[in-house]
Structure 1
Amino acid sequence: MKKTFISLLSATVILSGCGVGEHQNNNSNHDAKGVNTSNVKIKNYNQASSALQIDNSKWKYDSKNNVYYQLNISYVSNPQAKNVEKLGIYVPAAYFKGKKNHNGTYTVTVNDAKKVNGYSARTAPIVYPVNTPGYAEQSAPTSYRYSNISKYMKAGFIYVEAGLRGRSMSMGNNSSNASTKSYETGSPWGVTDLKAAIRYYRFNDSSLPGNSSKIYTFGHSGGGAQSAIAGASGDSKLYYKYLEQIGAAMTDKNGKYISDKIDGAMAWCPITSLDQADAAYEWQMGQYGNEGNRKKNSFQKQLSTDLASSYASYLNKLNLKNGNTTLSLTKSKNGQYTEGSYAKYLKKEIEDSATEFLNNTTFPYKQNSTEQAGMGNGGPSGGKPSGKMGSMPQMRKQSSNKTYKTMDAYLKDLNKKGTWITYDKKTKRAHITSLKDFAKYYKQPSKSVSAFDDLKRSQAENEVFGTSGSDSKLHFDQSLAKLLTENKSNYSKLNGWNSNYVSSYKNDLTKTDKLGTSMSTRMNMYNPMYYLSDYYSGYGKSNVANHWRIRTGIQQGDTALNTETNLSLALKERVGSKNVDFKTVWDQGHTMAETSGNSDSNFIKWVESINKK
């Protein structure tokens, strides 16, 4: 099978351990609000260090493009998925001194004397792609193609692509053999594998180039979510037993703890915060709709309303802040929780997005947004600088190719079913009438109730929390389960109700995985907010990445804007506003959305801005 690389860079994971020259020792680099890793002791774990040592006599050399690379490297000593838990490392040739072997491979040593794009073997950033649309499996690289990594090599970066396990019925585990697959999948194994791959590089830090404290991960959709999870959950003890299960590098050659904290995370349209994603979706979009299974007099319509109300209760406990203002929701006259400082903040965020688009787009403007299920490709062309993504797997696509001669023509088209957005040419500001109209006319729901933990377990996220055998698809939303239990007498009077819903959720939520971990803990492990908000017990129990870049297509119906907004607000409170680059991109859907330029180039520029030459 032809291998496709993510040509976008995930937030670079911080490498720890011994290094070349003046490499920073990440063992002592910890989040001031998090875990002091110098005090971490790994007990009762016999690490197979010899199996984790990289063989520097097996490198291959692309003489035309000056790249050393090595594939088929097992990054753990006890792989559960032997063909998946491998990685490839791609290095600008200047960072190595190589001697050709009789079999055509090369034996290398680190060379700190030369530079590429201002970086040396001591200072080069390291990037990890997370190409896991819909939390799918990322295959380990089996072949080399320079075109997939060329931008990163020219930038002087080191590119590490690791195979990562995915949801229960993703690549390598199709429905026909889901009950007999040989390894565990879903939460938390994908991020566990990513952490193990990061730890492997740090374990071999003295034999490899790159600044091991400057690792960045990057991904889109489910990959964006896992990039964010890796960024938020650094050094979380919840992952220890999973890492030990697969034989990960927990300590360096001197017995000191190896950190899996990363320096930065890049996420496009992250499908995350799944504990409240169903409620968030209904609060922003679903509660205003009457189509699909949200028809009047249906159980699902009432469930949508109840989920939206429950979200307000949750939001008000998060204590999210905008400066000194604690954001909250209050009840409007119609009984919906759509007023308050949080609603005003979100409305302004939407208007800012529209304003930036209208102020920076030249007309005629050709709309050309392509969407994919899981991975996106797009960005308007014509008068506006393109926001094209790099090479990605091709999946379901939906395209719009309208051309608007003037801004007025564009706004007229947006308002064709009702006026909801205007533009003041004097102040150069866009305005929307309400969050309701925004959802009604522009950001419409594309998923039924419930959007993520489907009532019939038919969403990809149900597979994320599935386990082996017959439990490959499971319910996971405790808030939704509570509503079904508390309101079953009312729901039973409405169309679409099934009395089995209550028991199916109740039973699934009691299931544990192979290591005996509960559903609630597995949910926490895959929820960035668990580590970022003091609403959750995980706050302060991880080392959070120092730098973040988040982009989302504002028109997507795949997830709620408030989910991504909450993530950015919590991050700003935790690591500082200057270290969180968050933008919503107007006229873009579930894509690797950018307000201008190319997603690869923008990611590289962001990493460069952090790592001054």
Structure 2
Amino acid sequence: MQCHFKRCTITALLTAGLIAGCNDSSEETASTPVVDTTVDAENAALKFDAANYTTINVTIDGIATKLRQYKIVYVAKPVKSATTLGMSGGAQTLTDPYSMQTMIVSVSDALVSDQKAPLYFLVGNSGWMASPVTTSVTEGKAFTSTGDSDNVGAALKAGYVMINVGTRSRGARAEDGTWTGKAPAPVVDAKAAIRYLRLNDSAMPGSAERIIVTGTSGGGGLTAVVSASGNSVDFLPFLAEIGAAGIAGSGATATSTLKDDVFAAVAYCPINNLGNADAGYEWEYNATRTDSNTPSLNNVAYSAGPQVNASFALKTIFPAYLNNLALTLENGMALNDSSLKGATQALLKAEIERQIAKGTAVPTLGGNFSLRVGGRPGVAPSTKNIVNDWLTLSGSGTSATVTNIDYAKFLAFVATIQSLKSVVAFDAVGVTGNTAISGETNLFGSASVQYSNFNEWTWANNSITGDGSGIDDTGVSWTQYLLNSNNNLATQLKLINPLSYLNTVADTAPYWYVRHGMIDRDTSFAMQSLLYYAIKNDASVRDVSYAMPYLVSHSGNYDVQEAFAWIKSKVAANP
């Protein structure tokens, strides 16, 4: 579908889920920054102070290393947070009310004058939760660059500048009680941090032309949308509100004198495309669901309650959305509801054969997959053996190849390792009487309400009276609500989705490294394959490395040597 976002028809809005089918025109991106000749007081207020740092002593591979560490509020009008936040895992007390719009910059004392070093830009936002800034670069810390789990040690050893970034997101509350982390707040904050780095590029260590954004889970989703939407004017009004560097004016008249595009994205298990994630999840797992692999809802078993019908209804929505994206496979054929599972199988096959060639012991049909499961602080993981009833190999040793993948049995294998999410997985609150703040529902809605349903089916099936969401409280359909200019849900959905900006005139990052584990059920393989092909279809992308790492669950930074070799090669190719 080719359309300007502001001129999409109602039919297009419904079919494309509003947020991922519009190939934007030049109205969406300022490819050439507008020059503002007036004195920008906010830019002056955001001037980097090179003398304001703390000395941190660490070891890297056993070698004592002195670092300079800067703590910077990266916007001129930061939002003062409430002291206590209701966060995932319980209440969290903030000692710094501006920590969600603060970055911590760590750089080797010997490299403070290096103007070409890449900036390793780490976002948090696990579960799309608000992320007060934190860093593992602390006094006396020992890092290693040689293993596969210490990305910070690898970055410091490589001579990169470490940027830990705090951002608002779901659960964030301002001092006045308003919900300040609503979409697109995390994207806006990350872009504001990038703009600070651009503004002060000549005064700070490293190069703002070599920003590598990285994150895991919700942070992977944030990484994806920030990297896809470089320099889009869609974000300028929101950037103006918080006093981001390089923004002149406000609202619809805001203009930019700086860029916020980035060099590369390193995204692990990115929870992305939230407006369509529930439909994709049920399209993937509907036939797999049973009482044994799907949690009960409100103490009612899957098969005995509303989840069965909900799963089927969501499943049926997905094909129209998918087919409307007009993405293509490597052979030029359409990526659609007939070819998507085959495309995912091909990616899975490629990963398994890659592991076999490396010498990884992959069981033949009838053998056992041995997995380490259940580990947590203070409790060692146990070994779980699951019979291989889905993967057929031919040949032996490192020359073996995959001859068949029974995809339905593969999905059942994944759901055996860890139960699937309940229905609805992402937009759960208010649906079928569910009052728990689960999923990403509280990322959406106005600053005065705790949450808003964000897809059509859940909107129509919200059964909680008085929550301000759904037909029951608003009296209007999903389509009518989205077209109402008195709310910004349509904008929120668009601005939080990387597929809204890939294959448009946005200045998308040229380099992408994306990983989603082979046994990760936190989002569907369908959504990750869509992201991969949307990136691959984008003509401005020079390289995308995508894999489904063997027997890896929902996690990140488990392949540090591979990831940093990839980063190094891209940096070397752009001296």
TM bucket by the smaller chain? 0.7 to 0.9
Secondary structure of residue in 2 paired with 1:563: helix
Secondary structure of residue in 1 paired with 2:421: coil
| Aligned position for 1:383 | none
- 8 Å CA contact 2:471–2:477 kept in 1: the answer is no
Among 398, 401, 409, the residue aligned to 1:437:
409
| Aligned position for 2:116 | 123
- 8 Å CA contact 1:203–1:251 kept in 2: the answer is no
Give me the TM-score of the superposition, normalised by structure 1. Answer: 0.70
Per-residue CA deviations over 1:205-256 (Å, capped at 9, x if unaligned) read 121121221101111000111011110111121211111111110169xx97
Secondary structure of residue in 1 paired with 2:324: helix
Instruction: Return 5+ residue gaps in structure 1 as ranges.
Output: 1-30, 97-110, 112-120, 331-339, 373-393, 403-409, 489-499, 534-538
Amino acid at match of 2:568: E
Distance 1:358 1:233, change over 3 A: same
Among 563, 566, 569, the residue aligned to 1:603:
563
| Structure 1 CA distance for aligned equivalents of residues 107 and 159 of structure 2 | 8
- Map 1:154-193 to 2 at 5 A: 154-168=157-171, 173=173, 181=177, 184-193=180-189
The structural deviation recorded for 1:131 is 1.8
Q: Are positions 1:84 and 2:100 aligned together? A: yes
| Aligned position for 2:84 | none
Q: Are positions 1:550 and 2:527 aligned together? A: no
| Aligned position for 2:319 | 312
| Structure 2 CA distance for aligned equivalents of residues 479 and 34 of structure 1 | 29
Secondary structure of residue in 1 paired with 2:115: coil
The structural deviation recorded for 1:546 is 0.8
| Aligned position for 2:238 | 242
| Aligned position for 2:91 | none
Among 518, 523, 527, the residue aligned to 1:563:
527
| Aligned position for 1:201 | 197
- 8 Å CA contact 2:56–2:138 kept in 1: the answer is no
Secondary structure of residue in 2 paired with 1:557: coil
Name the stretch that deviates more: 294-303 or 32-41.
Answer: 32-41
| Aligned position for 2:155 | 152
- 8 Å CA contact 2:265–2:511 kept in 1: the answer is yes
| Aligned position for 2:132 | 139
Q: Are positions 1:60 and 2:20 aligned together? A: no
Secondary structure of residue in 2 paired with 1:278: helix
Distance 1:371 1:201, change over 3 A: farther
Distance 1:91 1:371, change over 3 A: farther
Secondary structure of residue in 1 paired with 2:243: coil
The structural deviation recorded for 1:51 is 1.1
- 8 Å CA contact 2:508–2:541 kept in 1: the answer is no
- 8 Å CA contact 2:131–2:169 kept in 1: the answer is yes
- 8 Å CA contact 1:370–1:397 kept in 2: the answer is no
Secondary structure of residue in 2 paired with 1:84: helix
| Aligned position for 2:31 | 37
Amino acid at match of 1:136: M
- 8 Å CA contact 2:53–2:68 kept in 1: the answer is yes
Per-residue CA deviations over 1:24-54 (Å, capped at 9, x if unaligned) read xxxxxxx999845325356999642221011
- Between the two proteins, the alignment pairs up a number of residues equal to 482
Q: Are positions 1:450 and 2:466 aligned together? A: no
Distance 1:370 1:56, change over 3 A: farther
- 8 Å CA contact 1:67–1:153 kept in 2: the answer is no
Give me the TM-score of the superposition, normalised by structure 2. Answer: 0.74
| Structure 1 CA distance for aligned equivalents of residues 165 and 554 of structure 2 | 24
Q: Are positions 1:460 and 2:439 aligned together? A: yes
| Aligned position for 1:262 | 262
Secondary structure of residue in 2 paired with 1:451: coil
- 8 Å CA contact 1:551–1:584 kept in 2: the answer is yes
Distance 1:342 1:95, change over 3 A: same
| Aligned position for 1:335 | none
Amino acid at match of 2:68: Y
The structural deviation recorded for 1:506 is 6.6
Secondary structure of residue in 2 paired with 1:79: coil
- 8 Å CA contact 1:168–1:467 kept in 2: the answer is no
- Map 1:404-419 to 2 at 5 A: 413-415=386-388, 419=389
- 8 Å CA contact 2:522–2:554 kept in 1: the answer is yes
- 8 Å CA contact 1:73–1:86 kept in 2: the answer is yes
The structural deviation recorded for 1:257 is 1.3
Among 383, 399, 403, the residue aligned to 1:401:
383
| Aligned position for 1:50 | 44
Distance 1:160 1:38, change over 3 A: same
| Structure 2 CA distance for aligned equivalents of residues 371 and 144 of structure 1 | 29
Amino acid at match of 2:170: R
Instruction: Give aligned-pair identity as a percent.
Output: 23
The structural deviation recorded for 1:548 is 0.4
| Aligned position for 1:503 | 472
Per-residue CA deviations over 1:520-554 (Å, capped at 9, x if unaligned) read 11011000011125xxxxx32x2111110001112
Secondary structure of residue in 2 paired with 1:70: strand
Distance 1:529 1:234, change over 3 A: same
- Superposition CA RMSD, Å: 3.6
Q: Are positions 1:420 and 2:414 aligned together? A: no
Distance 1:222 1:395, change over 3 A: farther
Secondary structure of residue in 1 paired with 2:472: helix
| Structure 1 CA distance for aligned equivalents of residues 38 and 289 of structure 2 | 55
Name the stretch that deviates more: 87-96 or 361-370.
Answer: 361-370
Amino acid at match of 1:401: T
| Aligned position for 2:537 | 573
| Structure 1 CA distance for aligned equivalents of residues 313 and 349 of structure 2 | 28
| Aligned position for 2:287 | 287
| Structure 2 CA distance for aligned equivalents of residues 68 and 33 of structure 1 | 43
